């Protein structure tokens, strides 16, 4: 099972023909404003060009040492158009316009979306430090134009910003109904809108007979079977197709993988989700980093596999079923749910070995209601 999970995560197998990006990080304002008064706080900065460090606030002063592109230094003070910095224990002054703000190190996981070179500066003409590969974890420590400074596996360098993806932090969401589940949204207002819409639909429609088992399921349970003989005149009939489909959907029940009670419960959840998807029909998108939440799906009417999974996550929550969305944050996402048999994807139970693999891989897009790991 683990190799199947790994394959579905890494290569986006069944169910998602579009990318599943995680977050959208607005570009930083990289303009450095010179200040007339001294600033004593120590702040991380990054050099925007080759520059010289002087002993005092003048290019005629003694040269202390040079700095190359993309070097991280610490700002100690500013005066006029000059900034006092410290680098590896050495101190001096540089022109303020040769520095830009650095992005503080973050615990948010950034994922490399394409195998590429890591450069010593924000140009393909820079020295190639190493290769970073699809799926590598990275910490972003700076940004300049269309380039990001990242740390990957102990190596620090620059790559095009379009090659990394970032999960949403959801820092603006202070109130949730189901623990850590935020459905991929960015603000409390988006969360409230999503919850209100789905909860209203759930209360009004979920128990409707429309989402119950169809006649073909009961006919198969009574022993009736469709024909698989393509030469049989009835093979292509609608009635036969219904029987074959019902038989296929009940396969895991017949094998004893899941109970009929679980099958019936998940059938209702799935059919209700299909109803929501039809009523609030969204356009499937490819490669749009801003599409990743239930709000995108239900209100902006744009969706991909993780946005759709976030909607389904809320449906599961309302039905009393804990769940977690897993994926690489780049190409594919799947949703797991917890029933009496344990954790299941689609209709296939996960073993303890499978769950251990998911936890060790740290490939979440969302967490369970009770924490950041899936308890078997």
Question: 104-165 has which fold?
Answer: SH3 type barrels. (2.30.30)
Q: What is the pLDDT of residue 111?
A: 78
Secondary-structure class of domain 9-20+169-209+273-361 per CATH: alpha beta
Angle formed by the axes of helices 305-318 and 188-205, nearest 10°: 60
Record the tokens describing residue 129, joined without a space: 């430090």
Q: Is 175 helix (H, G, I), strand (E, B) or coil?
A: coil
DSSP state of 4: H
Nearest CA to 42 out of 105, 107, 91 is that of 91
Q: Which residues, 6 or more positions from 242, have their beta carbon under 8 angstroms from its beta carbon?
A: 214, 215, 216, 226
- Taking CA atoms, 326 is separated from 30, 218, 372, in Å, by 34, 33, 11
Angle formed by the axes of helices 2-11 and 352-361, nearest 10°: 40
- pLDDT, tens only, 290-343: 788 999 999 999 998 888 999 999 999 999 999 988 876 556 778 889 888 888
- Unique residue bearing structure tokens 């005066």: 79
What is the DSSP pairing of strand 302-303 with strand 283-284?
parallel
- pLDDT, tens only, 67-125: 876 678 888 888 989 999 999 889 999 998 888 766 544 445 577 888 899 998 888 88
- Unique residue bearing structure tokens 């030469």: 231
Record the tokens describing residue 253, joined without a space: 């029940």
What is the DSSP pairing of strand 51-54 with strand 43-47?
unpaired
Distance between CA 31 and CA 143 in Å, rounded? 12
The total of other beta-carbon atoms located within 10 Å of residue 370's CB is 12
Distance between CA 327 and CA 358 in Å, rounded? 9
Q: What is the pLDDT of residue 138?
A: 81
Q: What is the pLDDT of residue 1?
A: 42
Domain with CATH 3.10.620 in the chain: 9-20+169-209+273-361
The model's pTM is: 0.57
Task: Please say whether the beta carbons of 78 and 84 come within 8 A.
Answer: yes
Domain with CATH 2.30.30.40 in the chain: 43-101, 104-165
- pLDDT-based confidence at residue 6 (cuts at 50, 70, 90): very low
Distance between CA 83 and CA 95 in Å, rounded? 6
Distance between CA 2 and CA 12 in Å, rounded? 15
- Taking CA atoms, 359 is separated from 2, 73, 365, in Å, by 12, 37, 12
Distance between CA 25 and CA 135 in Å, rounded? 18
The per-residue DSSP string of 101-138 comes to EBPPP-SSPEEE-S-EEEESSSSTTS-EEEEE-TT-EE
- Unique residue bearing structure tokens 């003989």: 229
> In the β-sheet with 110-112, what is the strand arrangement from edge to edge?
128-132, 116-119, 155-160, 147-152, 137-144, 110-112, 164-165
Q: Which residue has the higher pLDDT, 360 or 119?
A: 119
- pLDDT, tens only, 10-64: 333 333 433 222 222 222 222 223 333 334 345 778 776 678 999 999 999 999 9
- pLDDT-based confidence at residue 149 (cuts at 50, 70, 90): confident
Q: Among 3.30.1300.10, 3.90.1410.10, 2.30.30.40, 2.60.40.1730, what is the CATH number of 43-101?
A: 2.30.30.40
Distance between CA 17 and CA 262 in Å, rounded? 28
User: 106-126 burial string, b = 16+ CB within 10 Å, else e?
Assistant: eeebbbbbeebebbbbbeeeb
């Amino acid at each position: 099972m683990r190799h199947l999970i790994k394959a579905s995560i890494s290569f986006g197998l069944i169910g998602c023909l579009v990318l599943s990006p995680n977050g959208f990080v607005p570009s930083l304002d990289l303009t450095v404003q010179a200040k007339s008064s001294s600033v004593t706080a120590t702040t991380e900065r990054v050099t925007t060009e080759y520059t010289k460090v002087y002993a005092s606030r003048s290019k005629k002063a003694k040269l202390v040492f040079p700095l190359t592109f993309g070097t991280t230094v610490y700002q100690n003070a500013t005066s006029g158009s000059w900034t006092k910095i410290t680098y590896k224990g050495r101190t001096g002054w540089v022109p303020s316009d040769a520095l830009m703000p650095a992005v503080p190190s973050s615990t948010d996981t950034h994922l490399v979306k394409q195998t590429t070179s890591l450069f010593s500066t924000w140009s393909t003409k820079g020295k190639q430090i190493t290769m970073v590969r699809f799926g590598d974890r990275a910490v972003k420590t700076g940004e300049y134009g269309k380039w990001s400074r990242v740390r990957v596996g102990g190596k620090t360098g620059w790559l095009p910003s379009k090659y990394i993806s970032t999960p949403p932090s959801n820092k603006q969401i202070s109130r949730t109904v189901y623990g850590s589940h935020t459905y991929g949204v960015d603000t409390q207002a988006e969360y409230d809108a999503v919850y209100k819409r789905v909860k209203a639909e759930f209360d009004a429609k979920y128990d409707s007979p429309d989402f119950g088992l169809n006649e073909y399921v009961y006919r198969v349970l009574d022993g009736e079977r469709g024909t698989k003989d393509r030469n049989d005149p009835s093979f292509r009939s609608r009635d036969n197709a219904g029987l074959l489909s019902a038989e296929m959907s009940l396969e895991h029940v017949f094998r004893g993988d899941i109970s009929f009670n679980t099958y019936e419960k998940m059938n209702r959840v799935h059919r209700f989700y299909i109803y929501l998807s039809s009523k609030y029909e969204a356009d499937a998108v490819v490669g749009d980093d801003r599409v990743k939440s239930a709000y995108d799906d239900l209100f902006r009417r744009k969706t991909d596999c993780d946005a759709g999974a976030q909607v389904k996550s809320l449906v599961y929550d309302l039905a009393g079923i804990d769940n977690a969305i897993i994926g690489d944050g780049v190409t594919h996402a799947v949703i797991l749910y917890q029933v009496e048999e344990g954790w299941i994807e689609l209709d296939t139970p996960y073993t303890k070995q499978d769950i251990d693999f998911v936890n060790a891989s740290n490939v979440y897009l969302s967490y369970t209601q009770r924490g950041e790991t899936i308890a078997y």
